[in-house]
Amino acid sequence: MKPFNVFPYDSNFDFMRVRMVSLAIAAIIMFVAIGAMAVKQFNLALDFTGGVGIELRYEKPVDVEAVRGKLATAGYDNAQVQTFGNGRELLVRLQPKDEQGKAGTVASIAQNVSELSSFPDNPALLHSSAEISPQIGKELAENGIYALLFVVLCFLIYISFRFEWKFAVAAIITTLHDVVVVAGWFALSGHEFDLTVLAGLLSVMGYSINDTIVVFDRARENFRGMRATPAEVLNKSVNQTLSRTVITSFVAFLTVLALYIYGGGSLKGMAESQMLGIIIGTLSSIFVACPLLLWLGVTKQDLMPKARDEAALARRP
């Protein structure tokens, strides 16, 4: 695999030398993201705020983007339109226009949407309509928070068991940094925040923690054969995994970019969160994770393999 290395295996970029600068920049970005979430808040989608759900049927397959465009022109901003079944059925979820207010009943709104979504050669038939309760959105938001806390707790337990508590704290802070920055971007930009974006945030956590663990595991292995300071060991570990990190991130980014371009409007938010998460996660695994370990006062004993892992490490090529 060495011919495919982006950086030489024995490269020696001194990442630890700029650790205080990188930590300061990461902290500033994270606090800006937190400020954006506190001041501007999120542009919550119907998944969280409630609205009206309408099911339409057509005689022929319909262009989803054309329907979404017609609804946006008519004043139904951020309408969620997605196809299901055989491609001739649409599920439309939207909020009433301001002028409709509470006076607009579900039936009248559904009829209006049906008329707007019709085409001369392919009329829309209203199949069903229903109100999406804000209470359901509140429950979804709470469940999303519980999911994030559950993932963080499981990561903390696993890394504490696999390494040492300092590694666990550094990995969790790095992961939370990535998630907060991505979430802050959606608050700052005003892009719609829906369930697919929440799913993207959860995947960002998985990607970030995976890359961090790879670097930490290499650090443990290096300490078996290196007589050096913790800073030198961590610096060497980051350099040795640098090509792997960049190549993996690049391939993952291309995959999500294709999803962003061709996945349609319903998946655009998730793809956007994942693309940003891959970029932030890659940078944090290089410039944040190991510098945090040094800041926490990591020692040689912390980096030594645990006894139960000696045999497994010895069998590695």
CB 56 within 8 A of CB 117: yes
Say which range, 5-14, 64-73, 121-130, has the weakest mean pLDDT. 5-14
Nearest to 166 by CA among 16, 17, 299: 299
Q: What is the biggest distance separating any 2 CA atoms in the chain, rounded to whole angstroms?
A: 77
Alpha-carbon distance of 162 to 312, in angstroms, equals: 13
pTM > 0.85: yes or no: no
CB 124 within 8 A of CB 55: no
Answer with the residue of higher pLDDT: 41 or 264: 41
Query: Interior CA angle at 239 toward 182 and 227, to 5°?
Result: 125
Alpha carbon 269 to its chain centroid, in Å, reads 10
Residue ranges of domains in the chain, CATH in brackets: 2-43+136-314 (1.20.1640.10), 51-132 (3.30.70.3400)
Q: pLDDT by residue (tens digit) across 82-138?
A: 887 677 888 888 887 765 554 457 888 888 888 889 898 888 888 888 887 766 667
CB 296 within 8 A of CB 170: yes
Alpha helix ranges (H) inside 74-194: 106-116, 134-162, 165-189
Alpha-carbon distance of 125 to 128, in angstroms, equals: 9
Most confident range, picked from 2-16, 94-108, 141-155? 141-155
Q: pLDDT by residue (tens digit) across 208-219?
A: 888 888 888 888
